[in-house]
Structure 1
Amino acid sequence: MKNHKYIAKTATDSVAKQIAKLEAIGDSGVGKALLANLRRAAGRDLQKNPDIWGMVLEDLPVPEYDSPEIMPEEMAVFISMTLYAVAQQGESPVTHSMHQKDVSFGAACGQLAGSDENQQERVRAKLKRLLGAKNMDELAEQLRRMIQLIKAEDIKLDYAKLCNDLYWYQFTNGRDNVQLQWARDFTRSMKHNTEEKKEEEENNG
C-alpha cells in the first residue's frame, strides 16, 4: 500500500531542491536553458519532453508497479516545475525568484484580488473555472493562466507547497481538503488587503 504522506513529502522536497538548484545557476547558460525547457513543456506531456525528465523524475521513488499512466507524484512535480518556470520568465531566479516559501496558491490569489471589489469578483470567477477543471490537464492549463496573472503583479508563491497541493488534489478526499485550504487562504489574504487599504485611507484622511 502506498504511503501517500511519504510520497507527497518526497515530491514537495524534490521541487524545493530543483528550484534551489535553478536559483543557484539560473543566470548561466545551463540555467537559462533548463528554465526554457520547463516553460516549453508547460501544458504538454512529460513523456514527450526528455529535456526535463531529470528535473521532474530524479528525486522521486520508483513506482511500485509499471504503469502506462503518469503517477500522481510525477504529475504534481511536473506541473509545479513548469508553472515555476512560467512565473520566472523574464526574471533572474538568482536575483528575483518568484518562489517564496509558505505563500500558498490561495494566498497569492488573494493578493491578486486585492481590495477592489470588481477585481475580487474577476479573480473569484477565474478560480471558479479553475476548480471546475475536469482533469489534471485542464487544471494545469487553468493554473498556468492564473500564474501568468499573478506573475504580472509580481506576486510570489511557494511552488513546493503547490506541488504538495497538486499531489493530494488527484485523490477525491484530498481534493476537497486542498480546495478548502485554498478558500481559507484566499479569504484571509483578501481580508488582509482590505484592512490594509482601510488603515491607509484612515491615515491619509
Structure 2
Amino acid sequence: MTTTVSTPPAAAAVQQQVADLAATRIASWQEGYLKDRSPAVAALARLRRGAGREAGETPDLWSLVDTDPLHTPVEGMRPLSEQELERAENALHAALTLWAFHQQSRGVPMHRRHTRERPGGLGAAVRRLMPADGTDAPVRKRLVRAGTAPDLATLTQRLRDIVALLRAAKDPVPLDYALLAGQLYVWQWADGPAAVRRRWGRSFHEQVRTLPGTAPASNEKNTPDTDKDAS
C-alpha cells in the first residue's frame, strides 16, 4: 500500500494507544504461556501463524487480535478516522503475531518493556546479536533492509527474519513489542518511515547500562526453554 498522507497531528496519541493495547494483550498471553496454561498456549499457536501476513488475511485471528478499544473514543480525543483505525489495526496485528513467533518454545519472556538501563528497541536488540568487540555486517544489513522496506507487508516479512535471529540466539534476545507496535503505526504515514528509521538507528547505538552483577528482573529468571508448540 502506497503511503501518501502526512502523519496526522494526533499520531503520537494514537501511537500510544496502539502501544498500550499491544502491551495489555501480550502481558496476559505471555504470563499464561510461561505458566503453561492451555488457553494461552493455544492462542500463541494461532497468532504465530499470522506472522509476516497482512491483517485480515488469517480469519482465525480476528477474534484474538481484538481492536475494540481503538473504536472507543478516549476522553479528550476525537474518534479515530477509518484510515487511522486501519493503520492501528495493521500495526497491532503485526506486533502481536511477531511476538508470538518470537515467544514460541521459549521459557523466558520475549516481550520486555524498554527502559533506559535495558534498551528494548529493535536496534538495541539487533546490536545484542553482535560480538561485544565489533559488529556483524550481515545482521546489521538485515536491520538496514527492514528500514528501507517499501510498505508494511514487506517490512513485516523482514522483521520476521530478524525475529528469527533473536529467538535462535544462544541467549534469546527479547524485544519491546509495545514499542514496536507504536512504531509500526507511525511507519504507515508518509513521513513515518524516516522517523522510525531514525529511532531504530538511535536504538542500535544505545548502550546497555545494567551494572555488572545486577540480578535479572523477577519475571526473567533463567528458565529452561520448553518444547511446547514447537512446530
- TM category (shorter chain) comes to 0.7 to 0.9
* Partner residue of 1:3 out of 1, 7, 10: 10
1:47 counterpart residue number: 56
What secondary structure does 1:60 align onto? helix
The alignment's C-alpha RMSD in Å is 2.5
Q: Is 1:88 matched up with 2:103?
A: yes
Q: Distance in 1 between matches of 2:184 and 2:81?
A: 21
2:71 is aligned with what amino acid? Answer: P
Unaligned runs of 5+ in 2: 1-7, 73-78, 115-119, 213-231
CA contact under 8 A between 1:88 and 1:98: conserved in structure 2?
Answer: yes
Q: CA deviation at 1:64?
A: 4.7
* Partner residue of 2:68 out of 55, 58, 74: 58
What secondary structure does 2:70 align onto? coil
After TM superposition, the runs of 4+ consecutive aligned structure 1 residues lying more than 3 A away are 62-67
CA contact under 8 A between 2:71 and 2:85: conserved in structure 1?
Answer: no
In the TM superposition, 1:134-173 aligns within 5 A as: 134-153=150-169, 154-173=172-191
Q: CA deviation at 1:55?
A: 3.5
CA contact under 8 A between 2:15 and 2:186: conserved in structure 1?
Answer: yes
CA distance 1:174–1:48, change in 2 (3 Å): closer
Unaligned runs of 5+ in 1: 197-205
1:122 is aligned with what amino acid? Answer: P
In the TM superposition, 1:23-38 aligns within 5 A as: 23-26=30-33, 27-38=36-47
Q: Distance in 2 between matches of 1:174 and 1:85?
A: 25
What secondary structure does 1:48 align onto? coil
CA contact under 8 A between 1:18 and 1:55: conserved in structure 2?
Answer: no
2:111 counterpart residue number: 99
Q: Distance in 1 between matches of 2:29 and 2:177?
A: 13
1:3 is aligned with what amino acid? Answer: A
* Partner residue of 1:188 out of 199, 206, 217: 206
CA contact under 8 A between 1:84 and 1:99: conserved in structure 2?
Answer: yes
What secondary structure does 2:53 align onto? coil
Return the TM-score normalized by structure 1.
0.81
**Higher helix fraction: Structure 1 or Structure 2?**
1
Q: Distance in 2 between matches of 1:184 and 1:79?
A: 22
What secondary structure does 2:166 align onto? helix
Q: CA deviation at 1:70?
A: 7.5
Q: CA deviation at 1:110?
A: 1.0
CA contact under 8 A between 2:91 and 2:185: conserved in structure 1?
Answer: yes
Q: Distance in 2 between matches of 1:9 and 1:70?
A: 13
Q: CA deviation at 1:71?
A: 1.3
